[in-house]
Structure 1
Amino acid sequence: MAKNLTTLALASLLTLPLIGCMTTNNVQPIATKPFVIDSETYQSAGKSQRIKFIVLHYTVSDNERSIQLLTKGKVSAHYLIMDNDDDKIYNLVPEGERAWHAGDGGFAGRTILNDTSIGIEIVNKGIQPQYKDALKDSELDYHPYKHFVEFDEVQIKKVAQLVQDIAMRYDISPKNIIGHSDLAPSRKIDPGAKFPWQRLHEEYGIAAWYDEADKQFFMKETQLATPTIPEVKQAFRDYGYQINSTAEWDKASRDVIYAFQLHFRPLKPTGQMDIETYAILKALNKKYAGRDDFY
């Protein structure tokens, strides 16, 4: 009898309204007076800027098509620089938000650069139309300097102003101002051989460039003692490039060489390792050693 009464009692409780669970649509405030967020009294020393890189691209398209791709598609960039002769630089994604511009790849130990970079797209066709298929029917493995399309002067000045401002505000290391090809050498070749990295460095103090005296020193040194392939690949890693550990210059490794040459020896980008390329790499490592240490 006692067992039956207990069962009936439980059954009756289960049929009662679940009063405590019925406030879902009537959420009560935590306090009658909102709590105050104090961001001034204390500040943590263990922090850094989220933005660590500036990545430069070309669109391989004209103004109209570039706008469509970057505003309606699944790719985006923080800024778009068209080839109009005007004073406009278009901000497509707020800097505090993540743009989809970098994709797979990495640089300086980072492998998801969309999270830590500002992407800048520049309207440019990339490869001249007559050279689009040049690699299919020739012995060329990579596009040479003459295949690329020039940038307009107004675009260079816009890039200079924009990159100067972003780099200053986020305290970005010169070597972390890179091209899309630097972070994805087997997928991308933009902004290409005719993007004027040297001019931007010398005239506007933007991005990295080597000292000629250091290059000449390392050329002489390399002629006296030829480095091994693992030593050369380690030098690429020291600068920030992702490169495999094979003891040969396979296609993936040559893609890295080509990307490096597009950036730092654009008049002769071959994808082949040589004394001059290695000397430039060593000169850059000497100049910028320790410049990208961050958490």
Structure 2
Amino acid sequence: MHLPACAQDQQRRIRSILTALAIGIAVTACAGIPSGKMSGASDVAAFDLNNIDTNKSAKSQESRVKFIILHYTALDMALSLKVLSEQAVSSHYLIGDDSPGKVYRLVDESRLAYHAGVSSWKTYPHLNANSIGIEIVNLGYQDTPSGRIYPPYPAHQIDTLIVLLKDIVKRHQIQAENILGHSEIAPQRKPDPGPLFPWKKLADAGLVNWPDIQQVQLRQTVFEQQLPDVIWFQQKLAQHGYAVPQTGVWDQATRNVMIAFQTRYRPSLFDGNPDAGSAALLDVLTQSP
């Protein structure tokens, strides 16, 4: 179709105006570009990571490390070192069973080690992320026809552990209640560091809390008259820090948690049964300061 002459003239005028506007915009944009520089080039020098200013430090900060988790390796020295350095499991430190107990640092404290696995304590899940793991060379246990046998921890090995713990605690300001055994953060899976681990010796060194024996004896007398019900035990165990069912039923999961508790605080009897002695220990340990 042919447009009338007047319409053709109008289209030509519109095209001329649009062309002039486009040229004007291009000239304006180029006017700000210095001679010799292409559009898009930057005058700012590349950022140098060595120039980060570290002269100021925030007052509001603390260590990411909240817990120390203690384990036994259930292996001899050679296998412990091989497994912890070459396989999927790892720990920050390994304490040997030789005298005086050589210490290996296998993972830097600033990095995560794979020692806790599926775990929790109080409101903290997955404790690998905020803990330091210490593996202690110890064979764990051996089942025999006469029962389960646990090898003892040599005194020099525990002395070495105490020196290491004091250093870590001081640097990270770790609270006494946050030095734990693997069995406490994973009671359904793990039994270590076992009933022969000397928690009381760590308490005497000022590293962990320990229930007042006189208070325990007084409370035990009361509980021997009437034992609390199942839900009381479950609530107290949870208050102390364990992940435990709150069902009012003394199931295997609750029994496993009680075994972990008794193994630490009453290793002479850790059958997982609720009794007056365990109730007294729990009651004293969960008292408000």
Q: What is aligned with 1:207?
A: 208
Task: Give the C-alpha shift of residue 31 in structure 1.
Answer: 2.2
Task: Give the C-alpha shift of residue 48 in structure 1.
Answer: 2.8
Q: What is aligned with 1:43?
A: 58
Counterpart AA for 1:214:
Q
Task: Give the C-alpha shift of residue 282 in structure 1.
Answer: 1.2
Q: CA RMSD in A?
A: 2.4
Counterpart AA for 2:156:
V
Q: Could you tell me which of 143, 166, 169 is aligned with 2:168?
A: 166
SS at 1:281's partner residue?
helix
Q: What is aligned with 1:118?
A: 132
SS at 1:119's partner residue?
strand
> Does structure 2 conserve the Cα–Cα contact (< 8 Å) formed by 1:77 and 1:101?
yes
Q: What is aligned with 1:91?
A: 105
SS at 1:231's partner residue?
helix
Task: For 2:192 and 2:105, locate their aligned partners in 1 and report how far apart those are by CA, in whole Å.
Answer: 20
Q: What is aligned with 1:249?
A: 250
Considering only CA atoms, is the larger Rg found in Structure 1 or Structure 2? 2
Task: For 1:30 and 1:214, locate their aligned partners in 2 and report how far apart those are by CA, in whole Å.
Answer: 70
Q: What is aligned with 2:159?
A: 157
Aligned pairs for 1:200-279 within 5 A: 200-202=202-204, 204-279=205-280
> Does structure 1 conserve the Cα–Cα contact (< 8 Å) formed by 2:177 and 2:208?
yes
Q: What is aligned with 2:5?
A: none
Q: What is aligned with 1:70?
A: 84
* Greater RCO, 1 or 2 (C-alpha within 8 Å, sep 6+): 1
SS at 2:94's partner residue?
strand
Q: What is aligned with 2:192?
A: 190
Counterpart AA for 1:73:
Q
For structure 2, the residue ranges without an aligned partner over 5 or more in a row are 1-10, 12-41
> Does structure 2 conserve the Cα–Cα contact (< 8 Å) formed by 1:53 and 1:172?
yes
Task: For 1:282 and 1:150, locate their aligned partners in 2 and report how far apart those are by CA, in whole Å.
Answer: 29
Counterpart AA for 1:63:
M
Q: What is aligned with 2:116?
A: 102
> Does structure 2 conserve the Cα–Cα contact (< 8 Å) formed by 1:177 and 1:208?
no
Task: Give the C-alpha shift of residue 208 in structure 1.
Answer: 2.1
Task: Give the C-alpha shift of residue 110 in structure 1.
Answer: 0.8
Counterpart AA for 1:241:
Y
Task: For 1:236 and 1:76, locate their aligned partners in 2 and report how far apart those are by CA, in whole Å.
Answer: 29
Task: For 1:66 and 1:151, locate their aligned partners in 2 and report how far apart those are by CA, in whole Å.
Answer: 16
Task: Give the C-alpha shift of residue 38 in structure 1.
Answer: 3.1
Task: For 1:223 and 1:266, locate their aligned partners in 2 and report how far apart those are by CA, in whole Å.
Answer: 20
Identity among equivalent pairs (%)? 36
Counterpart AA for 2:255:
R
Count how many residue pairs are aligned between Structure 1 and Structure 2: 250
Q: 1:29 to 1:182 in 2, by over 3 A?
A: farther
> Does structure 1 conserve the Cα–Cα contact (< 8 Å) formed by 2:100 and 2:160?
no
Task: Give the C-alpha shift of residue 228 in structure 1.
Answer: 2.1
TM-score (norm: length of structure 1):
0.78
Q: What is aligned with 1:140?
A: none
SS at 2:68's partner residue?
strand
Task: For 2:74 and 2:108, locate their aligned partners in 1 and report how far apart those are by CA, in whole Å.
Answer: 23
> Does structure 2 conserve the Cα–Cα contact (< 8 Å) formed by 1:181 and 1:259?
yes
Deviation sequence 1:167-224 (CA, Å, 0-9, x none): 121111111101000001110000000000012211x112221110221122123234
Task: For 2:65 and 2:253, locate their aligned partners in 1 and report how far apart those are by CA, in whole Å.
Answer: 28
TM-score (norm: length of structure 2):
0.80
For structure 1, the residue ranges without an aligned partner over 5 or more in a row are 3-27, 135-142, 291-295
Q: What is aligned with 1:22?
A: none
